[in-house]
Amino acid sequence: MVVGLLTAANAAGQLIFLPTNAALIAYAGWRAMVLILAGIVLLVVLPLLLLMRDHPQDLGLFAYGDNGRPRASLRDTAAIPCRSRSARSGTGRGCGISG
């Protein structure tokens, strides 16, 4: 559904945008059209840049996949004892150690 909406918006934008630009070029020339188009782009982009946020924390949200709990560090995971049979037998291949 989203792809259909974006495709329809693209087609509707071209129906409005291209004839307007062609009429503006015929009336005032291509240089004036480029300046007007640059002004419209700035009027649209600058407010969007002010509204956009860089991090989810700026809006009080968690990052994707983050549940708000602190992550375990390498020290915390190294302190967990290994319970595999190969580690107890002394082969050195237990608990994620390849060799």
> Could you state, in order of their start, the residue ranges of all structural domains in the chain?
30-54
Q: What's the confidence (pLDDT) of residue 20?
A: 92
Instruction: Please name the residues in contact with 87: beta carbons below 8 A apart, sequence gap of 6 or more.
Output: 93, 94, 95, 97
Give the pLDDT of residue 76.
65
pLDDT at position 28 is 93
pLDDT exceeds 70 at position 5: yes
Residues in contact with 84: Cβ distance below 8 Å, sequence separation at least 6, in sequence order: 94, 95
More confident residue, 10 or 51: 10
- Give the pLDDT of residue 21: 93
Q: How confident is the model at residue 58 (pLDDT cuts 50, 70, 90)?
A: confident
Q: pTM of the entire structure?
A: 0.50
- If you search the block for the tokens 């600058």, which residue do you land on? 46
